[in-house]
Amino acid sequence: MRTEQRIYSDQAELYALAFAYRDVDDEVSRLVGWARDFAGAEPQAALELAAGPADHALEFARRGARALALDLSPTMCRRAQESAAAAGVSVEVLCANMVDFRLARPVDLAFTLINSLAHLHTLDELISHFAAVREALAPGGLYVVELAHPGDFLGRGPRSTGVSQPWQVERDGVTLTTRWGLADDPYDPVRQLFSASVEFQVARDQAREVVHATVVMRDWTLDEIRAASRLAGGLTEVACFGDFEGGPVDGPDAWRAIFVFRRAP
Ligand SMILES: C[S@@+](CC[C@H](N)C(=O)[O-])C[C@H]1O[C@@H](n2cnc3c(N)ncnc32)[C@H](O)[C@@H]1O
């Protein structure tokens, strides 16, 4: 059984701030649009898997859906509960493993964002995950998975796996500069595991603090994702996009890989 990666318990606040640059409202609108396109209706119940701060689940709750957020880290689960209470919305928070969770009532949309499937390190875990998602979905329900684009880690040029340029987020008097991975961080090519060294530089008033962590991430190819979903059964790929705007995954501007799967009606 996988144990939680410490960055999500020890550095939950910094993680949340580092990724606060995303346009959650827009991404949720895209998810709703895909539900309309591929399931024929807006989701009444939505589940964010590996939810972390659960910002997307919170947005679904704000829009009136039954919202659920699942995460392995008790710290992240607590944070999600506190954020929901502060926002005055209801989110059902489940502290569970996305490999083998079960819901009491099915949802019509499940989603796993920002490459969180990289936290599943083996094929067996991935297949079991797809089977659990299938069981969590109502007939005709959708599963949306956002992954790193394969161009980030495949090819014969210099390796760029998971390595990003440092980025900065400023909020409430705190400036956070995040670096996620270095080109020469350890890589296990047999298991496709990248041990990304993460650095958070926090500047608050005159004080400066640097926090280091390591996150072990599995590179999943698109066909491995497809194969695992087929082995699990009951899910059909209905789209694969290269970004949230719905561009093609093999287009020149593609920078993410976003699958949409549908459970058989
Ligand atoms: C990239 S972060 C959060 C992603 C969040 N949905 C977002 O969009 O910012 C990944 C999260 O996955 C959680 N996680 C890692 N392995 C997990 C597992 N096996 N089951 C459930 N959650 C897991 C971590 O605790 C962490 O909060």
Tell which residue, 58, 38, 103, 93, has the closest CA to residue 258. Answer: 38
Provide CATH 3.40.50.150 ranges for the chain: 7-152+221-263
What pLDDT sits at residue 5? Answer: 64
What pLDDT sits at residue 2? Answer: 46
- CATH classification of 7-152+221-263 is 3.40.50.150, yes or no? yes
Provide CATH 2.20.25 ranges for the chain: 167-217
Atom of ligand 1 nearest to the CA of 98: 20
Ligand 1 centroid, distance to 146 Cα (angstroms): 12
Quickly name the fold that domain 167-217 has. Answer: N-terminal domain of TfIIb (2.20.25)
**Which residue has the least CA distance to atom 25 on ligand 1?**
73
Ligand 1 centroid, distance to 209 Cα (angstroms): 24
- Amino acid code (one letter) for 203: A
Ligand 1 centroid, distance to 156 Cα (angstroms): 30
Pairing state between β 107-112 and 91-95? unpaired
Give the chain's residues under pLDDT 50. 1-4
Tell which residue, 84, 49, 83, has the closest CA to residue 69. Answer: 49
Atom of ligand 1 nearest to the CA of 97: 20
Q: Using alpha carbons, list the distances in angstroms from residue 27 to 22, 210, 238.
A: 8, 30, 19
Ligand 1 centroid, distance to 206 Cα (angstroms): 32
Q: Using alpha carbons, list the distances in angstroms from residue 108 to 40, 53, 146, 221, 245.
A: 11, 21, 17, 26, 22
Atom of ligand 1 nearest to the CA of 56: 8
Give the binding-site residues of ligand 1, using a 6 Å CB cut-off.
Answer: 2, 4, 8, 19, 48, 50-52, 71-73, 76, 97-99, 113-114, 116, 119
Ligand 1 centroid, distance to 205 Cα (angstroms): 30
Ligand 1 centroid, distance to 71 Cα (angstroms): 6
- The span from the CA of 10 to the CA of 212, in Å, is 11
Ligand 1 centroid, distance to 50 Cα (angstroms): 3
- The span from the CA of 73 to the CA of 262, in Å, is 28
**Which residue has the least CA distance to atom 6 on ligand 1?**
51
What pLDDT sits at residue 8? Answer: 75
Tell which residue, 112, 101, 92, 111, has the closest CA to residue 135. Answer: 101
What pLDDT sits at residue 1? Answer: 39
Atom of ligand 1 nearest to the CA of 48: 6
Atom of ligand 1 nearest to the CA of 73: 25
- The span from the CA of 263 to the CA of 35, in Å, is 12
